Structure 1
């Protein structure tokens, strides 16, 4: 190898050594958990809330993400719609959308709930922000007719918009009093940990899709 060739070879190696790590060290995905008290972590420290729990579990699987907590206790789908534009800032790579529990508890017409969620989804899609839709089931005391109409909202929207759907946010938790606060409605720290664990496989697949990498 000539001196010039050796010098060029060395320069290429040096540039790769300096630039390579910067390329490899991509910024973490910026996600937002848009929801109500189930997202906010009602009466619990922020580090125990669902976004923080899910972020830690995704990190343990090798996913570099930051999940901002945009949960507001007591929020309805109408409230979420009114604040979606400023609760989801520019630069957001994905939104975990969890709203509707308070609509069901208040007996808000399912048609109104679906319309609000439809508008939230549409606004996020217009901004090219991927969505993981988290579903809710109506409480049994609302009656069969209301329950049938409400429970159909999330599968219908997921199919219409091609969204990944986690069918029931409180799956595996709501029937176990040891996983709930004294009010019997909101999950405690352990309950939120289980919610994150159950949501993790779908969240992993969704995050991998955002990064454009195979799961």
Structure 2
């Protein structure tokens, strides 16, 4: 039901999704790629690749939290039966962007630090907190209140959310590897390969946001 509804919404709003991907998702991904490559190059020279791994995890958690904002807003407009306009989704970045960015930094730090020695605590914390952008955009909550709401949502839906995260990651990774293999048969240019993979990821993020949005909206009593 959730996946089918998410796919229907994706198909219905594909034009706007593509535009938002080009305006928001892809630029953020390019910035994230730049910093990721910088850290791997710098710490690789020092033989401290594991430190670069920490920065990579931090950047991924922060960027994925931020780029979901317009798609969460698009989803909210859809379920509230309001006209879906790109201007409204972009406006949500203006209203919620700073809050989600700062909270995303705190979220990423907490998850990375808790994962330094043991993966399980970091994974648990990631699941419990990762819905905070939904609390900010869909509920209008901020800071501690948004984290508190996200934790309650995470506790009530822990294994379902864990399944969504792991399942989605597995599917996306599989698709990316297949496409990467195809691109490598044509070129070994790092920039081209990276841009293709970023574009693939750009198309997955909205669907991920919609699936989580339906789960969150049902939990919050926002669905009819």
Query: How does the TM-score come out when normalised to structure 2?
Result: 0.35
Q: Flag the structure with more relative contact order, 1 or 2, with Cα contacts below 8 A and sequence separation at least 6.
A: 2
Larger radius of gyration: 1
Would you tell me which structure has more helix in proportion to its own residues? 2
Would you tell me which structure has more strand in proportion to its own residues? 1
